[in-house]
Amino acid sequence: MNHEDFLALNVAVLTVSDTRNDQTDSAGAWLMQAIAEAGHHPLIKRIVRDDRYQIRAVVSAWIADPAIQVILTTGGTGLTGRDGTPEAVAPLLDKRIEGFGELFRMISFEEIGTSSLQSRCLAGVANGTYVFCLPGSRSACRTAWEKLIRAQLDRRTRPCNLAMLIARLTE
């Protein structure tokens, strides 16, 4: 297969938190910067409370927006009663990318040990849009982006990547 040119994707970031705001949202801000540094287009960033209906409303609107190709959420993937991102997002997915959560927890185990089992991060496809639900810590977002997502959103990654499938997601 020929090496193709880089394809910049349009990415939205949603921070899920009851306590963070634009000044204290270091994970969301870091993701926006990392997206831009990778050559993609960070289109929008929002913060919503850890409420499954607020999360679902924003993610649903972004899934329906043909300009958005990738959604990254940060926060709400833990085990407390307020952590509801997986419950909000999972029903919206047409297909789950099971390997994402598995690989993330495996990589995280090397960094944080058995605490990695507390992560309920997930990924999938909805209406031709990739959705990744990441933990709320900046460190976890960095791990997910640098060790999994960035390469998969680059169609030059071989032998295969998620970016090369973008045009075929709605077949």
Give the closest residue to 28 by CA, choosing from 39, 14, 41: 14
Q: What fold characterizes domain 10-168? A: Molybdenum Cofactor Biosythetic Enzyme; Chain A (3.40.980)
Domain boundaries, the chain: 10-168
Q: Output the pTM of the full model.
A: 0.95
pLDDT for res 1: 37
pLDDT for res 92: 98
Structure tokens at 142: 């960095």
CA atoms within 13 Å, Cβ hemisphere of 71 = 33
Q: Using only C-alpha atoms, what is the Rg of the chain?
A: 15
Tens of pLDDT, residue by residue over 35-82, are 999 999 999 999 999 999 999 999 999 999 999 999 999 998 988 888
Low-confidence ranges of the chain (pLDDT < 50): 1-2
Q: How far is CA 160 from CA 23, 95, 145, 151, in A?
A: 38, 18, 17, 10
pLDDT for res 81: 82
Q: Kindly report the backbone phi and psi dihedral angles of residue 13, in degrees, each rounded to the nearest multiple of 5, phi listed first.
A: -125, 130
pLDDT for res 3: 54
In a 3-state reduction of DSSP, which class is residue 58? Answer: helix
Find all residues with CB under 8 Å of 20, minimum gap 6, and list them. 28, 47, 75
